[in-house]
Amino acid sequence: MALNHVIIGHRGFPVKYPENTIAGFLGAILHGAHGVELDVWLTRDEVPVVIHDRSTRRVAGVELDVKNATIEEIRRLYLGMGQGIPTLEDVYRAVPEGYRLYVEVKDIDAVHKVYEATVKHKRASDVVFLSFIRDVLVEFRKLDPGLRLALNVESLEKAREALKLHRNIKLYSVNLPVVAPLVIGFNVFKEYVREARELGLRVVVWDTEEYKYDYSLYGEIASLIDEAIVNDPVRIRNYLEIKP
């Protein structure tokens, strides 16, 4: 079946490149992704940098606490394939305009600097700010009524909270793990999607570790989702017959 879902590279294209790197972001786009998802922390000297964990050990083999490190210290780290940890501004410069950028903000302290960088590079129209932290999205909404915001949720309780939050600050989407239908049941998932869409919310799912390379579940829920944040944009596009 040919579908028109939006496919987003999860931390870039991590099955081929180091995660959250410029090479990974550009690689995902070159292989048909409509955009990329990335994670942001703020350094001690208040520079938004793109990394998933607060610790650098997993990706760089060196232990640094990003929030207590300087940008100079972060710049020295090597992730492989000629890549380092980019700043958010590096990403805005590298990724062409028009591609969607899901910017996950990991800490409320980063909100203002992330917003400043986004305005500076005129990328607000490309960006969806997302977070597991409700107050992060509330803070973004205070800064700008026009921003697109998304809440990451990992339980049915949190998913229902997203609907309430949408009524208060207007969300772009609710983002759930792809295994959500297995956890809460397909019928409950379908009913939740119906309710979310009635409120004008898009439904987005992201790859989880157990479904990192298995896209069969996406086929079962294809009609229930609007966007997929995946580790391998090529495989998912081929599996669902989605045109780049």
Please report which helix (H) or strand (E) contains residue 206, including its range. Answer: strand 202-206
The amino acid at 84: G
> What is the C-alpha separation between 230 and 212, in angstroms, rounded?
8
What are the φ/ψ torsions at residue 223 (nearest 5 degrees)?
-75, -10
The range of the structural domain enclosing residue 201 comes to 6-240
Question: In terms of Cα–Cα distance, which of 212, 217, 150 is closest to 183?
Answer: 217
How many domains does the chain divide into? 1
Task: Provide the β-strand partners of residue 36.
Answer: 9, 101
**In the structure encoding, which two tokens stand for residue 153, read together?**
């949720």
- 1 occurs within a structural domain: no
pLDDT tens for each residue of the chain, 244 residues long: 344 689 999 999 999 999 999 999 999 999 999 999 999 999 999 999 999 999 999 999 999 999 999 999 999 999 999 999 999 999 999 999 999 999 999 999 999 999 999 999 999 999 999 999 999 999 999 999 999 999 999 999 999 999 999 999 999 999 999 999 999 999 999 999 999 999 999 999 999 876 655 778 888 899 999 999 999 999 888 887 765 5
- 72 occurs within a structural domain: yes
Please report which helix (H) or strand (E) contains residue 228, including its range. Answer: strand 227-230
What local confidence, expressed as pLDDT, does residue 211 receive?
Answer: 60
Distances (CA, A) of 138 to 18, 39, 50, 132, 135: 32, 18, 22, 12, 5
Query: Which residue is listed with tokens 């580790």?
Result: 231
**In the structure encoding, which two tokens stand for residue 161, read together?**
């909270």
Query: Which residue is listed with tokens 């803070």?
Result: 139
**Strand residue runs (E) in 92-147:** 100-105, 127-131
- 62 occurs within a structural domain: yes
CATH code, domain carrying 128: 3.20.20.190
- 224 occurs within a structural domain: yes
Q: Give this prediction's pTM.
A: 0.95
